[in-house]
Structure formats: C-alpha cells, structure tokens
Amino acid sequence: MNYVKIKKNKDYQKLFQKGKRAFSSSLTILYEKSNKTGMGICIGKKYGKSVQRNRIKRLLRAAFYPEADKIKEISVLLLPKVAEEYSFETFQRDLQYLFKKEKLYK
C-alpha cells in the first residue's frame, strides 16, 4: 500500500481547521503537508444508507490509489458532493484535476 489511512479524530479535526481547500464538480479536498501520504474520507448520512455510503467510499479509494504514488507527501481528506449518481471516472478525473490545479504532483 502506498498511502496510510487517516483514522484518528484529531487528524480529521486538524485537516478541517488548518487544511487548504480545493473544489471541483464532484469533490472537495482538504490537504496539508505531512511526512507521509495519507488519505481519509468524510461522508455523512445525507449521502444515503450505509450501502450507498460504502460504495462511494470504495469508488473514492479506487480513484485515489493510482494517484497516491504521484503526489507529494500530504494528508488529504476527500469530501464528495451530494449527487444522484457517482462514478469512478468522475472521481478519477476530478482528483487528477484538483492535484494538477493545486500543484500537488511530485
């Protein structure tokens, strides 16, 4: 695995308070410089029942995985926007767009 999962509440709170934000059509990312590449997903109950929320998380992890080796060492928090449909291609395109826009690639 080429990134670590952000699991602790204090790490999430730190990103929400001090992280920089970037926006696209389907995602908002919060990021901050770190010593390891880390990724967390924040998704609430407004996205649907647990089956839908878990599907969105799987799609986001799958879209992030190939980009993890290409980006600088940062902690990233992914916040999807509420939509009717979610697709892997949309998340992948928007992640690449945001990383390029914010100059997060190595």
Question: What are the boundaries of each domain within the chain?
Answer: 4-101
Q: What is the pTM of this model?
A: 0.92
Cα–Cα dist 65/67, whole Å: 5
pLDDT over 90 at 93, yes or no: yes
pLDDT over 70 at 1, yes or no: no
Angle between helices 50-64 and 88-101 (to 10 degrees): 50
pLDDT of residue 2: 84
How distant is the alpha carbon of residue 46 from its chain centre? 18
Helices marked H in 19-69: 50-64
Count of CB atoms within 10 A of residue 64's CB? 21
- Of 84, 101, 85, the C-alpha closest to 23 is 101
Each residue's pLDDT tens digit, 16-40: 999 999 999 999 999 999 999 999 9
Return the CATH architecture of domain 4-101: 2-Layer Sandwich (3.30)
Note whether 66 and 53 are within 8 A (CB).
no
Each residue's pLDDT tens digit, 41-82: 999 999 999 999 999 999 999 999 999 999 999 999 999 999
Count of CB atoms within 10 A of residue 28's CB? 16
pLDDT of residue 28: 97
What is the pairing mode between strands 38-41 and 74-80?
parallel
For residue 26, give the 3-state DSSP assignment.
Answer: coil
